[in-house]
Structure formats: C-alpha cells, structure tokens
Amino acid sequence: MSKNAGTFLVTIVALFFISACTIVPSPHSLKVSEGFENPLGFYDANPSFSWKLPADGSIISQSAYRIVAASSADLLPDHADIWDSRKQNSEESLWIKYGGKELQSRQKIYWQVKYWDQDGKESEWSELAFFELGLLTNKDWQANWISLPDKDGEAYAPEYLRKEFTVSSEIEKARLYITSKGIFEAQINGQKVGEDVMPPGWTPYKKRIESLTYDVSDQIKQGDNAIGIVLGEGWFSGRIGYRASQWIKKPYPRAICQLEITFKDGTKKTVLSDNTWKGTDQGPIRFSGIYDGETYDANLELDDWSSPGFDESVWAEVSSEVIGDEFTLLPKRHHTVKSKMELPTLTINKIDDGKVVFDLGQNMVGVAQINVPVKKDQKVTIRFAEMLEKDGTLYTENYRSAKSTDYYIPKEDGIITWKPTFTFHGFRYVELSGFDEGAEPEKDWVTGLVQYSDFGQTGTFTTSHDKLNHLQSNIIWGLRGNFFDIPTDCPQRDERLGWTGDAQVFAPTSMFNCDVYSFWASWLQSMREEQREDGSIPVVVPNILSRKASTGWSDAATVIPWEIYFRTGDKNILDENYRMMRGLVDYYHSESENHILGIYTYGDWLQPYPSVEGDRSADTPPDLVGTAYFARSVELTLKAAKVLGMDNEVSELEELHKEICLAFDTKFMDEEGKLTTKIETQTGYLLALGFDLIPIEKQDKAIKNLLRKIDDAGGHLRTGFLGTPLLAPVLDKFGHADVMFEMLFKETYPSWFYSINQGATTMWERWNSYSHKDGFGDASMNSFNHYAYGAIGQWMYERMAGLAPLEPGYKKIQIAPIFESPLNSAKAEYSSNYGIISTEWSKTDDGTELSVTIPPNTSANVIVPINEGEDFLVDGGKIESRKEIKHIVRNNETITMDVEPGAYSFLLKK
C-alpha cells in the first residue's frame, strides 16, 4: 500500500470515528401530563411524559427514545428502579404514558430521557426532572376538618386558627398538605406559606375539593414552632351566583391540614388539624366577600399570632369532624391563582368630598395595593370601577349588587401599606377617600396587582395596524381577567361564573395565547362531575344556578375536549371526556323530534339590532340553533370515537350525523340556499355553512345569501356570541376573506374597532357597552371585560399571520398567510410542545418577504398566494435548490410545498 493510500485510509477511518462519536445534544423542557414542570403535590399517578428536541439545525426528527425513572436521583440513568422504557422506536416525543411500577401518595419520582435522531445517532441524557405526588385519596388524610363552632344566623367573619408544636431533630424535609371548604391563607412562624391567591379554588364542592402541597422545609426550625390558618368563605359559602349559596349541608367554612416532617435521622413527625387547635373570629379581617370586598380593622391585628409563644388563652377551642367520604379530596389539577403583574397609576383626578380617582390605564382583575397616609380610626374607603361617568366619578351601575368596596381602619396615624386577602375586583379606576386630608395624593398611593391562574404566555401576534394590535391586547387582557381559577364570563359584577357558552367559543384562541391545557382539563373534570344523569350539561360550571341545558352552551362538553386535543395532540383529553361527550349527544337525541332539537337556548346572545328590542337571545330560532349544535356535537364526538378507536360507535354516529344534517336542510333551507325561517340572520347562514349542515350544491347559494345579509347591514356584522366566531372561518373558506377584512376593519358600530374607538382596553360583553355619544348600554348586562368576542383572535393568528395546526398538536403545521389584506405586515410566534413556530411576512419594494421557523420533529405545509409572472425564492435562490423543501405544487393562484424543520426566508418577488 502506498503512503498516500495509507494516509487516505486513516483519514476515512478517523472521519468515520468522529462522525460516529458526534455528540447529539440532549432533549430539554421535560414535562409531565398537561405540561407540568417538576410539580410538587402532583395529582397524576399515571402521568405522561413530554420533551423537546434541540433546535440546533442538525436535528430534524426523532427516531427512538428511552425514558428512565427512579426513586432517587443517584440511581439514574443506569439503575432505574421505577421504570425503564428501554429503547422505543418512535418519533413521538409528547404524551408518552408511564409504564412502570404503581405509584403512591407522597412518592417523588426522578426521570430522564434520551432520543435517537433521524440518522440513528444517540443523544446525551437530559437533565434530571421530577414530580412529587400529593395525597391521592381521602384515606391518606389523618387530619380532621376544623373551624370555630358554627354561629347560625350570624354574619361570618374570617377565622384565625392556630397550633404550636415542637421540633427536636434536624429537618430533612417538610410538606404541608392543606385545603379548605372555603379559601385560606396558611402561615408558619409568622410567614405566609406560598404565594397563592384565594386557594384552593373553585370546584363542584359536593363532589371534589382540591388540596395543595407546600414545601415548608425552610420555614420550620428546631425548637418551638407555630402554624396558623386564616379561613374565609370564598366560593364555598359566600355570596355567589344570584343568591347566597346554601347548597351544601354545612355551608360554614372548614380547614384541614397535615404537616409531615421528615428528619435527617429517618424519623418523622406529623402535625394534624384536630380539636387541639385554638381559634378566634376577632381578627383584623372583619368581612370578606368575592362580590362585596373586604373590611380590615388594624385595631384588631393579632401580632405574631402564627408564631410560637403567642398568648392564645382567650381563644376558643375549635370543633372538628372526620373527613368522611361524601366528596373526594384530590390534589389541585391546574395552577393556582397568583399575583402576576403590577400596574402603576397613570393619572390622578381629585373629586369633591375628599375623593381621589386613580387611573391605572388598563381594565384589570385582582386587587389594589394601597400605600397611603392615614389617621387613626378614620376609615379608608377603596372603591372600584371599569369606567367613569362624564363628571369623572365612578360608574358602578353595571356591577349590579356587587359592592366591590374595600375598607381599612387604621390603628394609628402614619403611612400604611395594605391589600385584601380574600376578594378580587374587576377595575381600571380606584377611588380613595378617608385618607389623611392633609396629604397631597401621589401616584404611588395605588398599585394594581393583576391576578390570574399561573400559566405562561405561549403566543404573540403583531401587525402593521395599530388598532389590530390594540385588539390583540384586549383579547389577552380579557383572557387574564377571566381565567381566575375557572373560565368566568366576567370578573366584576355579581356573577363571575363559569359560563359554558363563552368558554366554548374562546377556547381555541386561548390555547394559542397561553399555556392553558391544565386549566381547561381541570374545568372539564368539574364539567364531568356536574353532568346530569340524563346527559345534559349545565350552563355554568361549577353549577350553582340549577338552570336547564342550553344549546350552544352545553356543547362546551364536546367542543373544548376536541379543540384541546387538536391543539395538543394528547388523546388522553378525549379518553377522559368521551363518555361526557357521548352523554350530551344522547341527551340531545332523546330531546329531539325527527332530529330537530328545539330545547331552550340563550341563542345568538346579544346580537345587535334584534327585531324585538331587548331580546337578548336575538333572532335566530332556537330550533335552528339547537339542531345545528346537535349536529356539531355529534360530529365532534364522532371524530373523538375515531381517534380512540371506538369503531362500534363510529358507524352509529356517522348515520346520526347524516340524519341531523338532512333534517336541518329540509326544515331550514329552500332549494336556493335561502333560510326559511321567519327572519333571515347572518348567524343562521353561518351555522349552516360553518358546521357543514347543507349539501355542497347548496353551499354556494347559501354563501351568496349570507353576503346579501352582510351587504344589507352595510358591510357590518349582525352576530352575537354564537355567530361571531363563525364569521371569519366561513367567509375565508368560501373565498371571501376580503369581506371579512372589510368587516373587521369597520370603525363604526357594531365592530371590534368600534369599542376600541370608545376607549376599550379589554373585550366587551356588548358591541356598544359604551359610546362617547350615547353613554352606557343596558347596565343589567354590561360587562367591560368579557372574552367571547375575542374569539376572532383564532383567525387573526391562523390566517392573517398564517400559523395554524394542520395535524393534532402542531405535528404538522400549516403556514398560509393572507397577503391581500389591509396590512403591510404580520407576525405570529407560538411556543408549541415541539418548540418555537414562527411566521412573519411584510410587503417591501422588492415584493413580499416571508420568514418561517419550523421546530424539530414536525413538518409544515406552506401555502403562498402567487400571481402569474411572480418569482418565489428561498434564501435568494430557487426553492427547488433546498432539499428540505418537497412536493412543490404551483397553480395560477398559489404555490404549495412541504418543508422540514428549520428556518426559511422566502421572497415573493414582483
């Protein structure tokens, strides 16, 4: 062999060795079940596992994975004693079900994952992740419910409960398991436990109460300790709904807690809530209510009441009762409410009679933290409003009976800093009175603490149009304001209930903007618990109104599970909710006559210009709405059955769906695709077309009739809660996106921009909740923070920017922006479970530029409108030159292609 040949061979071997030993970067963002990262007090003993692949350019897809789980971090990765999945040849990196040993309450599991890339190269192990289970059954609780003895007929004042205990050994760890019938704040040795707001939250209390787990290892010391609980009414027994809620046998609040301490020598100590605790209702919080606010008397402050050594001699013995099995205690399934943001005061306006109004510039939900000079025993009054009267005073008529007022009584002269504990408000403006009249008001006297369930933002959307960006801001603020442990309809008046109709139309928009999978999954669990024996679904969840089912509202039971599945790809959400979905379908079927469903409905709620003034259910007939949603729920249940492999139910549901569509077409449409109802409505056509209820040959005729109705309205919408979300997808589907853009960009009533022109900083309940010209709308139903009309966001993200899921979970993405619009640019970014997806386009002198990012382990279908004679380039060259771009199809209107993960810069050249 020649010297050169030998050198060449050595080089080849070396290159092969280097290639074979190339380090493939490890996976990251390890999460369990609905997206929890290293959760404590976790609810799921049969979790699923998800991770992301690194977006470094070399990783296209996953070909296999391996998960290991152990009882100790030291055992990983080589000695997994809980579960070793072994190498699984699969591209799936989401929702991998656990397959190891049965897990128990309190157990802490450590886990890691590795993957093999598209070339079969093995990655490094991920960093360690963990989850620690909470108390999973009632039998895990040795503690009792405790409270002061009930005082029937007396107003409830929050109770202060306490117990001292001694720790004699060095602490390894300590866990506080706690919940309440009501809401609570826990303290240990004078410090608040956690940062949660109004825990444990709101569930159907007759069925389930959620518990929380706190790591309090750092709050407990050797020697003497004390634990305290402040207990309020909250949703459990306070004023909620349209009456005082007395639907539970024992409406007075109770607390239960179990403090479990593990010492370094292996021994344990447990402190239980029981009859050895002491309590008083003579603390500083004199009153608290969700609707009415909180009263705090600093003269009654209990200094160091949750610290050891406090004199509790005048405190009463508590009453206690065993936990029982009348309902289930389960770990909280989604994130608690927290104070997430602070809003400073922007302007101050002095009003007569010593009142000052502070404007935060943004309608928000939470509480006001005050920092004001005060005089002893001179009550400070804090009032709230979303809007102002023309004279600058608060407009509170739309709060109805909700007082929404906080009071603070000082114990001495000076400056106090205070915020309430057991209430929340919906407001932009804060009115202060009763402060030290000798002081000059300052902006820092009032700060808004924005509170909502502790989820992160996943999506962003911006355009070249300022009002469209304002609309997006209003959508986000509407979401923040109404995702307060449950999806509420409004956050300010004497309601704040989990209305199902509002929720089902807004769910897809919410899923793009925020990480709300666990939020929805938890609420759906409440919905399952509230489903009636006949299969019907109440209009609010938790159900405190005892009202009938309503089509368009009850369908949240079918719409939301499907929408969550389609946006996450997790079949478990369908598996959990399928029986509920089928139950609603069967209920509708039993109530229908010849497949026409005419049960009660709120209809196209608050449609503008109803034929009968004041008719909130509007002009689309109940049987049309009912039959349309009957068909829609059957269709979604059918889709779920296919995903879950329920072949025996698929054929039955397919036949039922055909029969409903035929009945709908026969009763409500003539041969010219025209509604036969007494009044033609935009919503009637939108339901027929949006839900595919009429034959294809009639659809072109029906869309012309819809366009005629829009033209009759001067290009404006005439839709309420149910019709509005269908406007954009229907018009777009049938090639009339231009009509939708014209409608969306209307400045006059009714339109999205109309409310912005009147000063809206959130979505409104009515298209005309307020106008500069006419003032306020009907105060009995006039919320300035109502997210339903924010459902337009889905079309904004998916078509204006062009970022949509094509397959469940964004496994395949559709990038299909609309360039022919009033916009010069649009951009959307979404943090999917696979990684960041982004699309950005802008019109330039050279043409239209489009930038796209596709994460590993996915692919995308890119559809770009193109005119004859235009060139379409990628990174300055022909698209055929990129091997990552495949299946390129051109026609006279579009160019379509499939692209692999990576970043692309396209140019549609003039």
What residues are annotated to the active site? 495, 765
- What contacts 252, CB < 8 A, 6 or more positions away? 147, 150, 156, 181, 237
Please choose, from the candidates 101, 195, 179, the residue with its C-alpha nearest in 3D space to the C-alpha of residue 138: 179
Looking at residue 875, what DSSP letter applies?
T
3-state secondary structure 487-542: ECCCCCCCCCCCEHHHHHHHHHHHHHHECCHHHHHHHHHHHHHHCCCCCCCCCECC
In angstroms, how far is CA 170 from the centroid of its own chain? 42
Cα separation, 347 vs 344, in Å, equals 9
Residue 776 to residues 389, 773, 784, Cα–Cα distance (Å):
9, 9, 11
In order, the DSSP letters of 398-429 are GGTT---EEEEE-SSSEEEEE--SS--EEEEE
Helix axes 500-513, 517-530, angle to 10 degrees: 160
* Complete edge-to-edge strand list for the sheet that includes strand 825-831: 459-463, 825-831, 836-843, 847-854, 902-909, 871-874, 877-878
Cα separation, 258 vs 269, in Å, equals 10
Q: Cβ(850)–Cβ(873) under 8 Å?
A: no
Helix axes 622-643, 572-591, angle to 10 degrees: 140
Residue 336 to residues 130, 312, 519, Cα–Cα distance (Å):
20, 32, 9
Please choose, from the candidates 904, 712, 739, the residue with its C-alpha nearest in 3D space to the C-alpha of residue 821: 739
Residue 396 to residues 45, 166, 389, 447, 569, Cα–Cα distance (Å):
47, 51, 9, 20, 44
- Quick one: 643 exposed, middle or buried, by C-beta within 10 A (0-12, 13-18, 19+)? middle
Cα separation, 359 vs 635, in Å, equals 48
- What contacts 575, CB < 8 A, 6 or more positions away? 644
Cα separation, 576 vs 43, in Å, equals 15
Cα separation, 348 vs 633, in Å, equals 51
Q: In residues, how long is the chain? A: 910
Residue labelled with tokens 């339901």: 687
Beta strands in 216-253 (DSSP E): 223-232, 239-240, 243-244
Please choose, from the candidates 834, 767, 437, 843, the residue with its C-alpha nearest in 3D space to the C-alpha of residue 608: 767
In angstroms, how far is CA 645 from the centroid of its own chain? 29
Q: Which residues pair with 448 in a beta bridge?
A: 343, 368
Cα separation, 701 vs 697, in Å, equals 8
Cα separation, 663 vs 683, in Å, equals 18
Residue type, 754: Y
Q: Which residues pair with 129 in a beta bridge?
A: 111
Token readout for 741 is 């853009």
Please choose, from the candidates 74, 784, 736, 747, the residue with its C-alpha nearest in 3D space to the C-alpha of residue 363: 784
Token readout for 499 is 């209305």
| Helices marked H in 211-308 | 234-237
Torsion of CA 145, 181, 47, 499, to 10 degrees: 170
Please choose, from the candidates 42, 255, 13, 268, the residue with its C-alpha nearest in 3D space to the C-alpha of residue 133: 42
Q: Supply φ then ψ for residue 226, to 5 degrees.
A: -145, 145
